[in-house]
Structure 1
Amino acid sequence: MEVCWDQLLDCSNVTKSLNMHTDKGKYSIETHDSDILLSNKQDKSMQTNTGENSNICEVLGSSLIHKSGLEKHILTEEESYACEVCSSSFSKKSILLEHAKKHLGNNSYPCEVCGFNFSKKSHLMVHMQKHRKKSFPCEVCSTTFTQKSNLLKHLRIHTGEKPYSCKVCGTSFNQKSILESHMRTHTGEKPFVCETCNSGFTQKSNLVRHMRTHESLDEKSCVDEFSIQNSTLTGHGETIPAEGRYSCEKCGCTFLQKALLLAHVRTHPKAKPFSCEVCGASFSRKSMVVSHMRTHTGEKPYQCDVCHSAFSERSNLAMHMRIHSKVKPYSCKSCDSSFTQKQHLLEHMKRHTGEKPYSCDICSSTFTKKAHLVGHRRIHTGEKPFSCEVCGSAFTLRSSLFIHMRTHTGVKPHSCEICGASFHKKLRLVVHRRKHTGERPYSCQVCNSSFIQNLDLIKHMRIHTGEQPFTCDVCNSYFSDKACLIRHKRRHSGEQTYSCEVCSSSFSQKSNLLRHMQTHT
């Protein structure tokens, strides 16, 4: 910075001069030199200077000739004027007023109290509230407000009113701004980006907290410029003694607070300082340990208001609520399918790419999902961990048990829009629709017969191959179809499941019952 070396009488004049050469009233050690303050060689200065400088600034250690100069110096250093538009700070009100003209448009609305100008009348009206006595008191806690709108917002704390609701998960909030921030958890929008590492955040406060992980103290930080309204450079240096710093063992960065060091340590790979006392699993954040502990305790504090399903984490509840709201924010660009979760979309995309990264080490079958591989392995091991509490039937997959339970409850959620027939499974509805459309996508390569489902083709192929995989454990008879084996076993057991509604005769096979019914007609 260039200095004009004008000869000035006291520090206030020095400050005026420095403000002409510096940006927004900032100073450094090099520009605020006590030699400049004492460089006045005018006759008046020489007459008043007795050789002993008793007027010394305790903040910067500057010596001043006149006591009035010291008072002005202290006021200059302590007081500051901030621009309400851009938050720039200035050492003098006159400089601030001059700066404010930059923000004005064609119209100017001056404040009669402080002289500040505004480009809009509405801005002036809001500003005038600062000069008036707080006139909107809260009747509950006596807190007062300059604007009635702020009082109304405050009252929601006492009344519990939350007028702003999320259309996705139904969560309510007392302020619109909080709802807007919450919506980003559903959309995935992260408008606040770190300029250092490009990490994105849904809230500005999270970005500010994250930025501290990049902060470190080094030797050059104590000679950086500081604005006049903040702590002085001397005071700043005294707040960071070397012995009080916290150092990162990996990169050597130092921090004023231990919390900042812990946040910084997490930016290093595999930094997991928080451990589970039960199983020893380690995590990068304490909140993750709290969530993890629920896997041991079984606690599920977040409950769905619609179906009363419970979840261990709030994020899982939010995703679950999309089932009821039918909101599917993640769409496939290839086939227009949409999903409630991003992970489901990524798994779906593998169908288009043909990617099947999970393979069975026994039969080499490949799968798009790891869960499908886990379920497939149970076919080899015979494991069926999911049992029906009603009839005792066991299944390899939880989803299979869920579908099976509909046979007991009678729930048939999948309906045909043509004839109204309903089904327990979606796959059966798909097969059923082919009866209306005439579609037969499965063809025999031997005789060109076609079928509406793959199972029918498999059964048909046994006619050509002669395969009979189903054996009667009583007489060792063989059958190509499982249904034929079941009918055959009724001969041994004497079971007659088909009864005539007219005469109460019973039969082991449905065909025999139909033949019998003709005797009544």
Structure 2
Amino acid sequence: MHRQSEKITFTCDICKSVFSHKSAFAKHKRIHRKPYPCEVCDSAFSEKRQREIHMRKHTGEKPYPCEICGTRYSQLVNLESHVRTHTQEKPYSCEVCGSAFTRKDELNIHMRTHTGVKPYSCEVCGSSFSHNQHLKAHIRTHTGERPYSCEICGRTFSQNSNRKSHMRLHTGETPYSCGICDSSFSRKDLLRVHVQKHTGQKPYSCEVCGSQFTVNSSLTKHMRIHTGEKPYFCHICDSAFSQTAELNAHIKTHKEEKSLNVYPI
């Protein structure tokens, strides 16, 4: 504790942070020690409230229901993010291209499309990605793993999000509505691309030739023209392809494997 110009301050001995209120200082000190351990696993927390929220992972408790669709969540912040999928509210905007998002973490990931930061690398082919989930999905293009299956038609998918989107083909659900016209879509990315037809926006540019695209995935595919990258491998022979559609067409040439069908990731 120090007295500066008649004002008492509290300094942390570990990180040297300075606080003007004793209560704030006491709360800060718990960051360096975690006195609230989980009785089920090895996790520990600096605040009792954090442990209570964590325990819901073990108990399955989800006390926050959506009043629109009934989906339940373990944390209020997750419910608030979910509700925005119904209201189409997007409070987090990109200062570079104007794209808007329902969650701050979505904005942070999006910013990597502008900065070019791709911290997640594939150990098989060296491809790098801006999001860890994208890397996991990519690795399945090498392994062929498709762990998510449709309960209605049996089609399998490498990502659960793709399975959920596919299920809407059976249910006819189109929860993503355009605010400009009456169109609605089964997937958020389809809505985003549709809106750009109204605005004419093409925020993704090729640094090599200047070509512009409405979605980042189109830019990624386009870049393979310049890099020669072929990340999609045939598991029957050694052929490699830059697009999943090319791989699918190639697979069909293996007449002895007529029943084999690889769907796009």
- TM bin, normalised by shorter chain, reads 0.5 to 0.7
User: 1:471 — aligned with what?
Assistant: 252
1:300-348: per-residue Cα shift (whole Å, max 9, x none)? 1111111111111112112222333333222211111222222111111
Give the 3 Å change call, closer, same or farther, for CA 359–473 of structure 1 in structure 2: closer
Query: Separation in 2 of the partners of 1:415 and 1:323?
Result: 10
Larger radius of gyration: 1
Q: Within the alignment, does 1:296 sit opposite 2:77 as a pair?
A: no
For residue 251 of structure 2, what is the amino acid of its counterpart? F
Aligned AA (2:127):
S
1:359 offset after TM fit, Å?
Answer: 0.9
- Partners of 2:125 and 2:55 in 1: CA distance: 37
Q: Which residue of 2 aligns with 1:210?
A: 24
Q: Structure 1 residue 195: deviation in Å?
A: 8.9
Equivalent of residue 390 in structure 1, options 140, 149, 152: 152
Note if 1:411 corresponds to 2:173: yes
Distance in 2 of aligned mates of 1:476 and 1:387: 22
Counterparts of 2:81 and 2:257, CA distance in 1:
53
1:266 aligns with 2:30: yes
- Quick one: distance in 2 between partners of 1:425 and 1:417? 15
Whether the 8 Å contact between 2:31 and 2:46 is mirrored in structure 1 is: no
Q: What is the TM-score normalised by the length of structure 2?
A: 0.61
Q: Which amino acid aligns with 1:346?
A: N
Which of 82, 91, 94 does residue 329 from structure 1 map onto? 91
Identify if the C-alpha distance between structure 1 residues 419 and 333 changes in structure 2 by more than 3 Å, giving closer, same or farther: closer
**What is the one-letter code of the residue matched to 1:209?**
S
Change (3 A) 1:390 1:346: same
- The CA distance in 1 between the partners of 2:249 and 2:164, in whole Å, is 31
Distance change (3 Å), C-alpha of 1:342 and 1:264? closer
- Cα shift at 1:395: 1.4
Please give the root-mean-square deviation of Cα atoms over the aligned residues, in Å: 4.2
Q: 1:275 aligns with which of 37, 44, 50?
A: 37
Give the TM-score of the pair, scaled to structure 1. 0.33
Deviations 1:429-478 (A, max 9, x none): 749x98xx9x9xxxxxxxxxxxxx979x99xx99xx9x96223665579x
Give 5+ residue unaligned stretches, structure 2: 1-8, 12-16, 203-216, 226-241
Aligned to 1:362: 124
Structure scoring higher RCO (CA < 8 A, sep ≥ 6) equals 2
Secondary structure of 2:55 counterpart: helix
Taking a change above 3 Å as real, the CA distance of residues 473 and 364 of structure 1, as seen in their structure-2 partners, is closer
Separation (CA, whole Å) in 2 of partners of 1:291 and 1:340: 22
Distance in 2 of aligned mates of 1:427 and 1:342: 17
The residue correspondences of 1:395-474 to structure 2 (distance < 5 A) are 395-412=157-174, 424-425=186-187, 430=193, 469-471=250-252
**Residue equivalent to 1:340:** 102
Q: What are the residue-to-residue correspondences of 1:29-40 with 2, within 5 Å? A: none
- Percent identity between the aligned chains? 43
Which residue is 1:443 aligned to? none
Q: Give, in whole Å, the separation in 2 of the partners of 1:428 and 1:314.
A: 28
Q: How far, CA to CA, are the matches of 1:208 and 1:417 in structure 2?
A: 49
Aligned with residue 285 of structure 1, among 13, 31, 47: 47
Deviation, 1:399, is 1.2
Query: Structure 1 CA distance, aligned partners of 2:81 and 2:183?
Result: 31
**Distance in structure 2 (CA, Å) of the matches to 1:392 and 1:422:** 26
1:276–1:382 distance in 2 versus 1, CA, 3 Å: farther
Q: How many residues align?
A: 206
* Cα offsets for 1:17-61 (capped at 9, x unmatched): xxxxxxxxxxxxxxxxxxxxxxxxxxxxxxxxxxxxxxxxxxxxx
Q: Are 1:306 and 2:68 counterparts?
A: yes
Partners of 1:274 and 1:345 lie apart in 2 by: 32
- Contact (CA 8 Å) 2:10, 2:22: kept in 1 or not? no
